[in-house]
Amino acid sequence: MEGCFQLGVCLRDAIGCKTDEDEAARLLKLGADAGHTYGQLQLGLCYEYGTVVEQDSEEATRLYRLAAEDDEASGLRFVDFSAIMTRIILDICKKA
């Protein structure tokens, strides 16, 4: 799923290719659905800001929660957290 995630980001951001929003969304969803932490995070950002998908804050929150709860999510500390992500992380920490 790493390949789907990476190609999805490239197509979304026009890195080395032309932008293809539909294919970018499809590939990012494949990665996120397969449990790829950064795929979940990136797709969450897409839903939060309406990039390559229709804006949907509930779906963004769901994906952020999945990414934050992943055991491998320590890399999320390097991400510029949105208000939604910060609230979710704080909620998870309170439960721990």
Torsions phi, psi for 79 (to 5 deg): -90, 145
The full DSSP string for 60-80 is HHHHHHHHHHSTTGGGGGGS-
Taking only the tens place, the pLDDT of each residue in 10-30 is: 778 778 888 888 888 888 899
Return the amino acid letter for 11.
L
Residue 78 pLDDT greater than 70, yes or no: no
What's the sign of the alpha-carbon dihedral 55, 61, 62, 63?
Answer: positive
Query: Mind listing the domains of the chain with CATH numbers?
Result: 2-95 (1.25.40.10)
Q: Model-level pTM?
A: 0.70
